[in-house]
Chains A and B, each alone.
Chain A
């Protein structure tokens, strides 16, 4: 792995009751990489995202972002350090407009009481709002900025979430199933858009089930199964890996055990 990773996880462990959902997971995300985090359902991918963004505390191990340990920091401080994310189930604010949702993504960029208390559309000639509208347009989201998010199609809302996550100027952008529920055209557009984003120096870490999307976008892949890391390497070799094949398809031994349970 790269000598100077943007994100390094070492022995990250999380238990929910008796279930170890993240079991001594260690890997590094190279700076500027487009990396996929894959695994069967329930492998612990979203849990790992939640641990990185601070939704839950760790039971063991540490997470280092760009040289600074972040796992002990409150969730709200991590975005200011350059870690931003989207959510598997769209988590846009239902009562905020499209542009207001995107402007929420700028919150970590606001500094001091002046930025907090000045009306946003007056602020330096409406700079915040203008920037948000520009980013929406650049992402190809052709909806009225004041539209209700609840009224928009799924694919558009999914994309707005990515734009919101980008507004904090992240160094590491973590996307949880960004292509889920998108049609093939939207998926191709998203892949092209994310490549452009990565080209500006943003490192991507993407949880995704759509393997053609992963192959198209990500050169590196890590694979989780039952909370354990089972593969770390180039995406093109992932499907040839014995452990990965076993995780997805089941080995003969597991199959037999599964068969006896199936009754």
Chain B
């Protein structure tokens, strides 16, 4: 692979894992706009352990994941007291707090950033992305996944059906934290450098867009969303700086044409081999809502 192609594949792998981190909570109806904060903590934990504590990658990556999982777990309690746009704002504030803290902290290099000593190659990134994708598909096919999706649709009824709504929501924040930490740690080790400015609010917005535009109903959504949004700007590169305009228009068009995301459960079920033969599920009636 050329350096350019390797760079794109690396970013794609990191974005995909990051998108799944945000997807797991979004699938249960919780929007996390502080994704960059979680990813930054993962990246800096790995960077610090690697450069300052001299730990090998087999220690830094798992410890980064444990740290962000723990933070996801702890932050879920205050965050889950809020709803809707207030939750978006609360998680956004968390992301801002983290990047602000890292920018001010001399331990983590402040605005200069940190050099990461151990390098991780593209092979490990691809393997991590594949394993993460498989695990999230596995999760969404399980009864826990069904509970996650039912909470997205109707919390009170999920409770009456016996779902421990709060426990499931805390679990999704914890899993999401771990995955965001993984994506951050891989970023740090692959690019060998971390700086607080990279983990800004725009990154949080983009990763949430990958998920919402890809679709939150199935594990296919983030896969399609992050492929689309990582590759589209590269394809549009031929158009020079107009690509940002085209990119923006593409996002607006997606929101208008397919507010429920590119991939829906109904689409997956229609394309599923199980339904290739015999009767097909009836096409969905047009629904006004997109959630």
Contact = CB atoms under 8 A, between A and B. Distances in A.
B160 A79 contact: yes
Given A116-B142, A117-B144, A120-B146, A55 B160 contact: yes
7 contacts: A95-B149, A97-B265, A103-B146, A107-B146, A117-B139, A118-B143, A150-B285
B149 A93 contact: yes
B142 to A, nearest CB: 5
Contacts of B234: none
Contact of B147 (A80, A107, A122): A107
Interface stretch (A8-16, A140-148, A183-191, A218-226): A140-148
Interface residues of A, number: 46
Interface of B: 138-139, 141-144, 146-147, 149-150, 152-154, 156-165, 217, 264-266, 269, 272, 274-275, 279-285, 287, 289
A95 B138 contact: no
A91 B153 CA distance: 10
Contacts of B282: 143-144, 147-148, 151-152
A185 to B, nearest CB: 21
Contacts of A146: 269, 272, 274-275, 281
A93 B285 contact: no
Interface in A162-184: 164, 168
Given A76-B160, A107-B161, A148-B281, A96 B141 contact: no
A96 B149 contact: yes
A97 B217 CA distance: 11
Contacts of B159: 54, 74-76
Contacts of B275: 144, 146
Nearest to B218: A95
A128 B141 CA distance: 12
Contacts of A96: 146, 149-150, 153, 265
B141 A119 contact: yes
A114 to B, nearest CB: 10
A19 to B, nearest CB: 21
